[in-house]
Structures are given as structure tokens and as C-alpha cells.
Amino acid sequence: MWIERHRRQLASGEQKEYHYLVDEDGNRSSIPSLDAFRYRQREKQRIIASLRAAESLLVVGEAGSGKSRLSRAVVEELRSVGYTVVTLPQPLTQRQLLIQVAEQLEIEPEQRQTVALFAETLREELENWPEPVFLVIDQVQRCPAAFRLWLEQLLPLSVPMLLLATNPPAKDLFLKLPRLELEPLRDGQIRELMQAEAEQLGLELSAADLSALQARCGGNPLLAGRVVREAFLGLDETAPDHRQWIDGTPIVVCGLASLIVLRYIGLGYGNRSLYVIGGILTVVALMARFLVGRLPRGSQRLGR
């Protein structure tokens, strides 16, 4: 990767220089500032404490919640104090992932070994490694099932692993690890992110504008930047992509219970009309609940 500098003139007439990381394919990504990762410090310290205690951890959060940035911050801190950390790109085949682990540990793999034998050899190497080795894998739900099985075999060896996933399936490795779910960022933090993005774009946003845009983020830092860029481009407002909604199931249950109570009141007072009306309303509510549950659901993918 290399750093690219770009000078932009803001709406105020001020010249400002921005720096980007450019990969081999020409894709640009912003360079996080030194204090860019100040919103997940509590989770970061919990993860590092767990790994240092030789405990593995599964971090779960919706797309854009900051899992990748959190993992990079954890890796940087562990490496800064001299720990060996193995990070794996995604997605790859099982053999490619195993080779990545071997190369980062400077273990020379034998070309004639089968995948199963190579996995067993690598497991034995990790078991007898003279110092702690931390495995950090983002989007682990995309890993092949055979590789997740290999990771599962490392659990009894006390090899600390930090696994990060979006909507992991309820099976195999994901059921055995302690889980840390990333909560949405607070309103003030989201506003800070949006204000910083707006300043980079030279866009002036009032408090009312920030409030309207914040409602579309749901505490998601990725969406916080996206909605500001949409406002900068003058794009029409779209439906929110986040999934941080209030569960209305208790309200529905209470409504149905009140209708049933209405029937019993009519029965107790001998009011046949009240009893019949309560029964009809209960049936109608149950039918409506059934029909709503059978409606086609929208995609849960971000941006759909």
C-alpha cells in the first residue's frame, strides 16, 4: 500500500489536504486519525484482557458497526507490546488459510502434505509454541466449515482467538465461544462522526440536519458517514438500513391479552354483547398477526 495526498477546496475557500491509503488494486480508504478509535475503548480493553488470559472471544455486530476497526486496534496494541498476532484475510480456502497462518509464524509447509496432515502439523506447532500466539479472524462466518472445525480443535489447547462475525449461524464453533455483542454508538458519538465527515466534505449541517440524518443511522458508524455523503450529493432520502428497532412483540401480546380480558368481563357481568365483541376482536387480531407474519420480508443486507 502507499499513501496518496489530495488537496480539496472547502466551501469556505480554505484549502485542506487529505490522505488516503491506496492498495494494489487502486482502491482508496481513509487513514484513521490517532483518536479515530475512541468510541470502542471499553470493548477493546475487555477483548485484550480476555486474550491475555488465554480466553477466546466471539465479537458479533451488524455490518458497519466497527468490528474491523476494533480488531485492527486490538492487533496494533498487542503487537506494540511484543505479542505475536496472526491475522487472516477473507475469504480463502482452507489450505490457503492454513498457509497464511504458517507463513506469519514463519513455519515452512511441506508441499506434499495433504490438507488434513498439514492442519494436524500446524495444530501441533501451535500447541508447542514457546510464546502466546493470538489468532484474529474477521468475518469468520465466511470461513470454510473445515477451517472452523480446525479452529474448534484449537480451543482445548488454550490458543487465544478473536473471531469477529456478522450474523453467525448457531452451530459448531459459534456456540462454544463467549460472545461480545457490539452495541450501537450513542447519539453524541454518531453526531461527532457525521460532523467530522461533513467538515471533510465542506458541508455545513445545522443541528436540525444532523438530527434528521442521525435517525437514519441507528447508531451505526458506517451509515453515519454514508448519510452525510448522500446529503452532500443531494440524493433523495432512502429507507433506513440499520436493524436497531424497538421490538413490538410485547405490545401485541398485551393487546391480545386485553381483548381476552374483555371477553371475561362480558362473561362475568352476563353481558353477551361485550362477550361476543371481545371474541370477534380477538380473532381479528390473531388473523392480522398471522397475515403480517406471512408477508415477504425484505433483505437484511446493508443497503437493500
pTM for this entry: 0.67
CB atoms under 10 Å from CB of 143, counted, come to 23
Q: What is the pLDDT of residue 217?
A: 85
Mean pLDDT along residues 64-68:
89
What lies within 8 Å, CB to CB, of 62 at 6+ separation is 166, 167, 220, 242, 243, 302
Q: Are 100 and 89 contacting, i.e. CB atoms less than 8 angstroms apart? A: yes
Who has greater pLDDT, 25 or 261? Answer: 261
pLDDT-derived band at 304, boundaries 50, 70, 90:
very low
**Where are the domains positioned within the chain?**
41-181, 187-233, 249-293
Residue that wins the pLDDT comparison between 249 and 242 = 249
Cell of 240: 433506513
Please tell me the least confidently modeled range out of 243-257, 262-276, 278-292: 243-257
CA distance to 85, 88, 89, 95, per residue, from 77 (Å) = 10, 17, 19, 29
- Of 243, 222, 227, 186, nearest to 67 by C-alpha is 222
Q: What is the 3-state secondary structure (H, E, C) of the chain?
A: CEEEEEEEECCCCCEEEEEEEECCCCCEEECCCCCCCCCCHHHHHHHHHHHHCCCCEEEECCCCCCHHHHHHHHHHHHHHCCCEEEEECCCCCHHHHHHHHHHHCCCCCCCCCCHHHHHHHHHHHHHCCCCCEEEEECCHHHCCHHHHHHHHHHHHHCCCEEEEECCCCCCCHHHHCCEEECCCCCHHHHHHHHHHHHHHHCCCCCHHHHHHHHCCCCCCHHHHHHHHHHHHHCCCCCCCCCCCCCCCHHHHHHHHHHHHHHHHHHHHCCCHHHHHHHHHHHHHHHHHHHHHHCCCCCCCCCCC
Domain 41-181: top CATH class: alpha beta
Whether the per-residue pLDDT at 189 is higher than 70: the answer is yes
